[in-house]
């Protein structure tokens, strides 16, 4: 038997029974993405008409590669969390909803992994 009060047990759990984690992770990734996306978008704009070698060196430089890998992790995590909320609100059939969330999570992981592998190859040479 738990000695915690019913209020103490309920506090912070919310209706999803997993507490703040989803909400908090979405905010943390959102804050990370503010500087990362602005930096990356303008970097790509500046490089938009450059030749292959220039783009390769600029994207693959150590700091740039570290920032892009951080961007990839934050963006795909944020996307998976956001899509989950959309499915939870609009897909009423429980089986379809769980399937949609699962497929999206797996796909986001795969795409994130692919982007990171590409970045490793760009940064370290292939």
Binding site for another protein (CB under 8 A): 27, 30-31, 33-34, 37-38, 41-42, 45-50, 52, 55-56, 59, 68, 75-76, 79, 82-83, 86, 104, 108, 111, 114-115, 117-119, 121-122, 126
Q: Which residue, 9 or 47, is less far from another protein as judged by CB?
A: 47
Which pair of tokens denotes residue 107? 């796909």
Residue with tokens 């070698």: 53
Q: Which residue, 25 or 111, is less far from another protein as judged by CB?
A: 111
Q: Which residue, 67 or 115, is less far from another protein as judged by CB?
A: 115
CB 115 within 8 A of CB 72: yes
Which pair of tokens denotes residue 121? 């190859």
Q: How far is the C-alpha of 84 from the C-alpha of 98, rounded, in Å? A: 9
């Amino acid at each position: 038997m738990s000695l915690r009060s019913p209020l103490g047990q309920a506090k912070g759990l919310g209706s999803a029974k997993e507490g703040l984690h989803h909400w908090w992770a979405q905010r943390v990734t959102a804050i990370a993405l503010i500087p990362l996306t602005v930096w990356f978008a303008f970097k790509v704009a500046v490089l938009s008409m450059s030749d292959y070698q220039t783009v390769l060196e600029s994207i693959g430089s150590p700091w740039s590669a570290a920032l892009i890998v951080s961007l990839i992790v934050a963006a795909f995590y944020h996307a998976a969390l956001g899509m989950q909320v959309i499915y939870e609100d609009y897909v009423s059939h429980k089986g379809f909803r769980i399937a949609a969330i699962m497929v999206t999570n797996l796909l986001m992981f795969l795409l994130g992994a692919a982007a990171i592998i590409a970045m490793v190859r760009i940064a370290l040479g292939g």
